[in-house]
Structure formats: C-alpha cells, structure tokens
Amino acid sequence: MKLSSGRLYLDCNATTPLAGPVAEVLARAQEQAFGNASSTYLEGREARVALEDARGHVAALMGCRSDEVIFTGSATEANHLAVTSAARAAGHRRRVLISAIEHPAVYDQREALEGAGFKVEEIPVTPAGTVDLGRLEGLLAEDVALVCVMAAHNETGVLQPVDEVGRLCERHGAWFHCDAVQALGKVSSPWDSARPRTMAAAAHKLYGPKGAGALAVRRGTVISPVLVGGGQEGGRRSSTEAVPLAAAFGKACELALQSLGAMAGKAPLRDGMEDVLAGRWGAFIHGGSAPRLPNTSFFSLPGVPGLQVAQALDELGVAVSTGSACHAGQAVESRVLGRMGVPGELQGCALRVSLGRDTTSGHVEAFCSALAQALEKVAGNADYPGKA
Ligand code: PLP
C-alpha cells in the first residue's frame, strides 16, 4: 500500500496503519466513551455499551460468541493467558507440545513451562513449513496437557493444518491453543473448524490500534488470570477496560470481515510478483509449495544479503522486512528457516513482502522496479559477498 508520505509499505504482517473509519471510532470513543466501564452512572454505562458492542464485532471475526472473548493488551498477553491457564489446569498431564515455528510470544514460554515442571517438546515442520501431522500424532498421548500450533505463519504465511491438529488434540484430551494473529482478517477464522480451546488475536495486524488484543476462550474452559486486581473481564483479566481501544478494535474487525474477499484477491498479485522474482533473480520461495496467506511472500535471492537489500529498498522509499532473520540490524540464523531445513546461506538472504488490503498491481510493479535498483546498489557495495 502507498502511505500518505508517498512511501510504499509492504510489511503488513509486521503491523498495519489505522484504517480511516477505525481512527474515527477511536477519536470518538476517547471523547464519548471515556467512562470506566465498571461505573454504574451514565458515563460508565455508555462505556460498557461501547465495550460490549466492540466485543460482538471481535467475536464475529474470530467466529466465537461474545461471551467467549477476553480483551487483552496485546496478542502476546493473550498467548500468555492461554498457556498459563492450560498449565494451571494440567493436573497429571506434564507434557507440552509447541510447534517448531511458533511466534516467540508462544515459543519463548518454554522456559517458564519447564520451570513449572513440564516437559516441553517441539513439533517438527516439513520443508514446506507445515507442522508435521504424523510427528504430532506420534508425540500425542494422554500425558499431553497443551498443544500450541499457530493458524498461519507470520514469516512464510504458510497456513497450518489446524483442523487436523484440533481433531488430534480432541482425541487425546489435550488443550489446543491456536495463535491466529496472522490468519484473522486475511482468511476465515479456524474457530469452528479447528475447535481450539483458546485462540489469540491482535488488533494492529488488521488495521486496528496497537495495545489491543483478544483471547477467545471456548465455553467451559477455565481461565487462570495472569493479571489479578479489579476483577474485570469476568475476573479473567483485571485492569480497567481500555474502551476506546476496544471500540477501535471492534471497528477494525467489522471492516476485516467485510474485506476477506479483497484479501483473497491479493494472492494473484503475490503469485505474479513471485513469478518475476523467480524468473528474473532466481528467488527461492519459502513455503511456496504449501497453502499460504494470500498476502505473504517470503523468499531468498541467492547470494544477496537480505538485510542489505531491505536497507537499499528503504532508501528508495519501500518498506519490507527480513522476517525474523534479522534482529537489531544484525543478520542472525532464522529458527523458522532452520527448522524447515533451508541452508544457512539462503537464510541470510531472506526478505518478506506482505501486501495490504489496498495494495495494487501497480504497487507490486513499483516494488519490482525498486528491487532491481536496490540489487544494483547492493552489488556495488564494497562488502557485497558476490563482488569480485
Ligand atoms: N503471534 C504472531 C503470529 C505474530 O505475528 C505476532 C506479532 O508479530 C504476535 C503473536 C505478537 O503480537 P504482539 O507483538 O502485537 O503482541
């Protein structure tokens, strides 16, 4: 998408700007729904109405019932609430299975789980970037408390076989937690088909505000709060409700639900771009053989450092990311690509392009032209490894 600054923003899996109508709702709610939703006088009651209205829209996008939505401050918090609750409900079940490619918001809870006496095991992925169902089946047993598999991967965009994961978990009585942060707003919610007990969402990935997340909790599931205090959100997440953020999140979900068709229409743009990348520069598309989100392309241009290309593109007015293969400006080994068996030399060459709701074919063409310029610039750099 083109920003008002004129820059080409192609990193919509990292975050999205506020949609216009969402910004309007946020501004209005800051003024008109500022009351404490727990107060019984008029301003409180108005805030409560706005909050419950928003909950309905979030529930509609997630595919669950309104009373199954807990508002949180982020998707990271929602993931922590789910994992903590599952751990506290585990009883005699002492094993946890986490996919090898989970986002750090889930994956990095391993240590805390181990500290609490759980044996944490990784569910391997195939070279296509899909959770290996055969291996999961082999790992599942009656002592597994929790299984974490995301719905769609933030870097590769690969859609995970969560329906099958859900069936396997149900058969073994394990709590299935699904991080659906990247899937929601891009493809339909897996809530009904995969039947996770808990599912996480983030507003800012779907043109909503930062600082707003949600956890869907299937009826009958006991949640152990991480934040205790005032007993808000049915005692499951204390802290005065952020009504304006929730209202904006609700509007973003309403728009996202209406835009699923438009998002599906991004796949041909993405595929056309990948044809150019592969044909012109020999790009290797990570997860290219698996079903993917319609907006995501994660690829390596052999021999060309991804970080340098991303920096050159930035100078040319184009924002793309290196996935998580780069932290604080340093190229590091990618856990995700490593687990997919991608050789180290290709890992450092990775770039992620994630299209937005408003990305056009013209934007994709502009990206390809900018990439050609960026590659020329990188080839002229003294420290470019391919330079003679
Ligand atoms: N899960 C996935 C799949 C994500 O892509 C992200 C954000 O990149 C998160 C969780 C965490 O979201 P946040 O940093 O907004 O809490």
Give the total number of structural domains in the chain.
2
* Residue 105 CA, ligand 1 centroid: distance in Å: 7
Mean of pLDDT values over 299-318? 96
Same domain, 174 and 314: no
Ligand 1 mean position to 201 CA, how many Å? 8
- Per-residue model confidence (pLDDT) at position 323: 76
Same domain (yes/no): 215, 308: no
The predicted-structure confidence for 51-74, as pLDDT tens digits, reads as follows 999 999 999 999 999 999 999 999
Q: Give the per-residue pLDDT at 328.
A: 45
326 as an active site residue: the answer is yes
pLDDT at 384 over 60: no
Q: What is the spatial distance between Cα 84 and Cα 78, in angstroms, rounded to a whole number?
A: 10
Helix (H, G, I), strand (E, B) or coil at 187: strand
Q: Is residue 5 assigned to a domain? A: no
User: Same structural domain for residues 353 and 204?
Assistant: no
Helix 306-315 × helix 361-379 angle, to 10°: 110
Q: Are residues 312 and 340 in the same domain?
A: yes
Question: What DSSP designation does 19 have?
Answer: P
CA of 78 to the centre of ligand 1 (A): 10
Last residue of a domain, one of 224, 258, 292: 258
Query: Of 111, 108, 118, 120, whose CA–CA distance to 87 is shortest?
Result: 118
Same domain for 230 and 280, yes or no, is no
Domain-embedded: residue 233: yes
Confidence of residue 84 (pLDDT cuts 50, 70, 90): very high
- Residue 10 counted as domain residue: no
pLDDT-derived band at 381, boundaries 50, 70, 90: confident
Are both 270 and 252 inside the same structural domain? no
Q: Please identify, among 205, 230, 258, the residue that sits at the C-terminal boundary of a domain.
A: 258
Give domain status of residue 113, yes or no. Answer: yes
Q: Are residue 168 and residue 137 in the same domain, yes or no?
A: yes
In a domain, 14, yes or no: no
Do the domain assignments include residue 11? Answer: no
The verdict on 245 and 271 lying in the same domain is: no
Write out residues with Cβ below 6 Å of ligand 1: 74-76, 103, 105, 150, 154, 179, 181-182, 202, 204
- What's the CATH code of the domain at 87? 3.40.640.10
Instruction: Give domain status of residue 3, yes or no.
Output: no
Residue 330: what pLDDT? 57
| Residue range 312-349, pLDDT digits in tens | 999 999 999 997 644 545 556 689 999 999 999 999 99
Q: What is the pLDDT of residues 161-207, one digit of tens each?
A: 999 999 999 999 999 999 999 999 999 999 999 999 999 999 999 99
Asked whether residue 248 falls in the same domain as residue 325, the answer is no
Residue 326: what pLDDT?
Answer: 47
Which of 215, 231, 258 delimits the end of a domain? 258
Top pLDDT among 142 and 329 is at 142
Q: Which residues span the domain enclosing 72? A: 20-258
Residues 300 and 211 in one domain: no
Task: Compute how many other C-beta atoms are within 10 angstroms of the C-beta atom of residue 115.
Answer: 8
Convert the pLDDT of each residue in 90-105 to its tens digit.
999 999 999 999 999 9
What atom of ligand 1 comes closest to residue 76's alpha carbon?
16
The CATH number of residue 322's host domain is 3.90.1150.10
Whether 53 and 131 map to the same domain: the answer is yes
In a domain, 316, yes or no: yes
What does the alpha-carbon distance between residue 257 and residue 254 come to, in Å, rounded to a whole number?
Answer: 5
Q: Which atom of ligand 1 is nearest to the CA of 74?
A: 16
Tell me what the mean pLDDT of segment 281-302 comes to: 98
Could you report the per-residue pLDDT of 3-32, keeping only the tens digit for each? 888 999 999 999 999 999 999 999 999 999
Where do runs of H (alpha helix) occur along 211-298?
Answer: 243-258, 260-264, 266-281
Confidence of residue 287 (pLDDT cuts 50, 70, 90): very high
Mean pLDDT value across the chain: 95
In this prediction, residue 103 carries a pLDDT of 98
Residue 70: strand, helix, or coil: strand
Is there a single domain that holds both residue 187 and residue 270?
no
